[in-house]
Structures are given as C-alpha cells and as structure tokens.
A = this chain, B = another copy of it.
Amino acid sequence: MSMEQEKEQDQGQQRYDAKKYRTPDGIPADIVMFTLAKQERKASTKSLPRFDLKVMLIRRRSWPFAGAWALPGGFSQEDESLYETARRELKEETGVDGHHLEYLGVYSKPGRDPRGWIISHAFFALVEEWVLEKRQSADDAQEVGLFTVKEALDDLQLAFDHREILEDAYKRIQQQMLHTTIAKQFLPPHFTLGELYQVIQTVVPDFAELNFIRKITSTRSRQGILEEVHDEKGVPMLSNQYSQRPAQLYRFTDYTPRLSIYT
C-alpha cells in the first residue's frame, strides 16, 4: 500500500477518493486465439490429418503501432470482471460463444503502451478452425490474419509487448496440453487415439511416444483419463475415417490425475 493511501486509512477516513491519485488509463484484455488448422495433404489414400497450431491476429490501423499485427482485445468496463471482458471480446471477434478461455497473466511494464498507463490482461482461447476462417473472410472492417505460431514469432513485428504475450501463451498451452485434458477442445466428442496423438504432437512437437496406444490403453496409472466409447448395445464403436483398419473411439472422462516430480 502506498504511503499516502496507507496514512489516509490509518486516520479512519470514511471515503476513498481515487481522484487524488494517479490511476491507470485503461485496463484491456488481450486474447491469444489458438486454433488447429488442418494441413493440405496429397492423400493418395485415407490418412490422418496433420495440423498446424495457428494464432489469430488483427492488423492495427491507427496509432500506436499502425500497420503492425496485434492480438485482438478491448478495454474492460466497470461493470464486468476481466474474465467477462475477455469472454465478451472473444464473442465479438468470433461470433461464437462457449470456447475454452483461460487467464494467462498481467502485462504492466511501464511504457508498454505509448497511450499511457495501460495494464493489459492476457487470455488464451481455443477456437475451432472454421470459426476463425469465417471471421477472416467475412470481416471487411478489419484485416484479420491466421498465422502459425512459428511465423508469428519469427517473421512478424507484433504491436506492444504482444510478442512476449504470445511466447508466454505458447508455453502455457504446451504445459496445459500435457498437464490437463484441454486436448479435448481440439477433438470431436469421440476420437481415435491416432487423432489424439496428432493433436498433442501439433501443440508439443517434441512429445514422442513410440508406444502411445499401448500406454494409454494398458497402464493402470493412466486408467481413468480416457474411456472406450460403446453404443447402446455395448458394442465398441469404431471409426475408419482416417484409416483402413477401423480404430476404437475414445472420449475423455472428467478425471485428471495429479502429477508430481517426486513420485
């Protein structure tokens, strides 16, 4: 607590007057919208889709950073929490509600925004590819771009400290992919283990498990995070959408194991 504010309270004053202190000029929420975009493949036969992890950016048209790509976002209002701000912005940007939306962190380095004292709160969202593609083509008011994370980090000059935010978001989505079941956000309700493996590998490229299927299906310690899908008669449900040989369909349970470096 700053000294002035502290003293004021010590004197038992009944009103707090914000006008006496310098206060921020705005509190935006910026959103890193990730999607998994299906790669074009010269499919000689049925094959598993490969994906790219992409992020949606908007080209700024006004000062500051006019012309630069930036994360979509907007200012918070007094009658909403920052999570609600982010939800609202996400809906405005995509036209769709109900996506996974998660808080990332606060960005408050002095000077990060030339417009003044502006403290930004970053979120990341997981959105289906078609939502962003629709947005990309339909919106004539703003130039919208979908870039792979690698492109965005290596080739673009992002506005503000959005590069740092994107880096942090990338680390976080990788961590969440391995620690939680967010993979389900990128998968249909029922999926094959091959699909799941593709999703994990897209987000965490150095995740490699030779015996992935066996480990998932036959180790006690993983029991519980996935379950086989059966139809009404109890017959296992299979899919041959991506392979000749039909593959068992799975879904996530609502169980997430506790991880530990000590055991």
Contacts and interface: CB of A to CB of B under 8 A. Distances in A.
B16 A116 contact: yes
A263 B24 contact: no
A185 B28 CA distance: 34
The majority secondary structure among interface residues of chain A is loop
A66 B10 CA distance: 10
A133 to B, nearest CB: 22
Contacts of A262: 178, 200, 207, 209, 212, 215-216, 222, 225
Interface string A209-232: 100100110000010010000000
Contact of A178 (B60, B89, B260): B260
A72 B209 CA distance: 47
A187 B261 CA distance: 17
A6 interface: yes
Interface stretch (A32-40, A79-87, A146-154, A237-245): A79-87
Interface in A1-45: 1-2, 5-6, 8-14, 16, 18, 21-28
A117 interface: yes
B108 A81 contact: yes
Contacts of A26: 5, 18, 21, 23
A260 B180 contact: no
Contacts of A225: 261-262
Contacts of A62: 8-13
Nearest to A212: B262
A171 to B, nearest CB: 12
Nearest to A263: B209
Interface string A231-263: 000000000000000000000000011111111
A193 B4 CA distance: 47
Contact of A207 (B79, B116, B260): B260
A205 interface: no
Given A24-B24, A106-B121, A77 B13 contact: no
B78 A117 contact: yes
Contact of A256 (B82, B89, B261): B261
Q: Which 9 A-B pairs have the closest CB atoms?
A: A1-B74, A18-B25, A16-B115, A9-B62, A178-B260, A259-B259, A82-B108, A81-B108, A78-B117
